[in-house]
Amino acid sequence: MKTIKTISISVLSISILFLAGCPRQLQYQGMLGFPNYPKHTEAEPFTFAVAGDSQGTFTQINKEVLWRVMDDIQFRDSNTAFTVVTGDMIHGSSDSQVAMRAMQEWQEIVTSHFHAPIVPVCGNHEIQTEKTQEVYRQLFGSHVPQNGPEDERGLSYYFDYNRCRFIVIDTAFYGDMYRVRHIDWLENVIKTARPAGVNHIFVFGHIPAWPVAHIKNSLPNAANAINGETSSLDATRRFWNLLKEYRVDAYFCGHEHVYARQNVGGVWQINTCSAGAGLGTINPGYPGTGASQKAKDAFEANKPYYEILGYPTGAGSNGQAGTQFVGASVFNYVLVDVLSSGVRLRMYGVKETDSLGLNFELMDQFELSPVPVK
């Protein structure tokens, strides 16, 4: 019989559930919550996972892929401390009762397939009305630290774990999404980390700062910016400058259904989804010699948005904001190893055409950051 390992969390009110007949015959005791570790223990190596966007196209949840993602995380590293889920867990609904049932079902699936805590991030699919936002607060927000801005309690929060600071920001607030609404709160949480002995800072949100696939539809809101309304773009630049100023290791996000990582001005943006949502297409790069007319047309259609966002558009440009770009249209999740020598990221993915087998394989690995800043 498999030994079940658990980790202490500060809040746990949901039942431990088991789902019969899971595809790989793996059943785990799971929890919804966050790690309740001493704030400033000696730094010890550990691994955490990040996944996102498990909503179905015609169903609330793509259960087949979500099951496999949860199982594979534990197959790769049975001691994974916790998993951050970057939003869009369900397809969602404007009907709060439908949304509630879908969120409860998601909790049942994950807690029956995963032995470690889940750190939730809200996405735009969960937050479709004011009522569904309150449903999310009740079902997910009540399990997290209540240390965010007053109107975002349960949506934005932070905690420290083994000398790392984990900050969750709400980018999908009902009626005011596509921006970081409380930048002053975020700055205070970030700037107090290093003096408190924190070695690494990780920020998590649902919506990317720099779109890699939905060129018009991310924090900068390029669809508005191209028409002269640049408030979202200006706010995104302020947000990113804040991450750069305080040497944040990475911003993890979802929303765009691809895997992508890039370094933008010294800070990594890691898009890690999909864990079930229909896969997207990465921004088209500069069409090289012999490119098809379709490729040329795609680049030209995106070029005005690249220009307003400040993306390179010359020969050899890849349609992205930063350097060292790697991307793939695959179901995926990442494991982040926090080591004494720095931080390493491993991405495991599977192509959609292989979804029946869903045999995840290592597709990307790189050093996320250098030795911890002293």
Convert the pLDDT of each residue in 46-88 to its tens digit: 999 999 999 998 999 999 999 999 999 999 988 899 999 999 9
From the centroid of its chain, how far is CA 373? 24
Amino acid letter, 141: G
- Nearest-angstrom CA–CA distance, 222 and 306: 9
Establish if 57 belongs to a structural domain: yes
Cite the DSSP H helix spans in the chain: 63-76, 96-113, 130-139, 183-191, 222-225, 231-245, 293-309
Q: Is the dihedral of CA 361, 363, 368, 370 positive or negative?
A: positive
The reply to whether 115 and 37 lie within a common domain is yes
Q: Which domain holds residue 293?
A: 284-319
**pLDDT above 90 for 38:** no
Nearest to 62 by CA among 20, 24, 105: 105
The reply to whether 149 and 71 lie within a common domain is yes
The reply to whether 290 and 273 lie within a common domain is no
Site of tokens 């869903």 = 358
The reply to whether 89 and 106 lie within a common domain is yes
Convert the pLDDT of each residue in 312-358 to its tens digit: 999 999 999 998 899 999 999 999 999 988 999 999 999 766 555 67
The reply to whether 194 and 298 lie within a common domain is no
CB 83 within 8 A of CB 116: yes
- Nearest-angstrom CA–CA distance, 170 and 350: 29
Quick count: other Cβ atoms within 10 Å of Cβ 245? 12
Nearest to 296 by CA among 304, 284, 310: 284
The reply to whether 174 and 311 lie within a common domain is no
Identify the band that residue 31 occupies on the pLDDT scale cut at 50, 70 and 90.
Answer: low
Establish if 24 belongs to a structural domain: no
pLDDT reported for residue 2: 36
CATH number at residue 125: 3.60.21.10
Establish if 269 belongs to a structural domain: yes
Establish if 135 belongs to a structural domain: yes
CB 333 within 8 A of CB 348: yes
The reply to whether 206 and 290 lie within a common domain is no
Return the percentage of the chain with pLDDT > 90, whole number. Answer: 75
The reply to whether 304 and 251 lie within a common domain is no
Identify the band that residue 368 occupies on the pLDDT scale cut at 50, 70 and 90.
Answer: confident
The reply to whether 190 and 296 lie within a common domain is no
Convert the pLDDT of each residue in 88-112 to its tens digit: 999 999 999 999 999 999 999 998 8
User: Can you read off the two tokens belonging to residue 95?
Assistant: 């009907």
The reply to whether 139 and 230 lie within a common domain is yes
Establish if 7 belongs to a structural domain: no
Establish if 16 belongs to a structural domain: no
Quick count: other Cβ atoms within 10 Å of Cβ 62? 25
User: Can you read off the two tokens belonging to residue 328?
Assistant: 């793939």
Q: Give the SS3 label for residue 48.
A: strand
Q: Work out whether strand 117-120 and strand 31-32 pair parallel, antiparallel, or are unpaired.
A: parallel
The reply to whether 307 and 204 lie within a common domain is no
The reply to whether 192 and 307 lie within a common domain is no
Structural domains of the chain, count:
2
What value does the mean pLDDT of the chain take?
87
Q: Is the dihedral of CA 32, 37, 39, 42 positive or negative?
A: negative
This prediction's pTM: 0.89
- Nearest-angstrom CA–CA distance, 257 and 261: 13
Establish if 142 belongs to a structural domain: yes
Establish if 158 belongs to a structural domain: yes
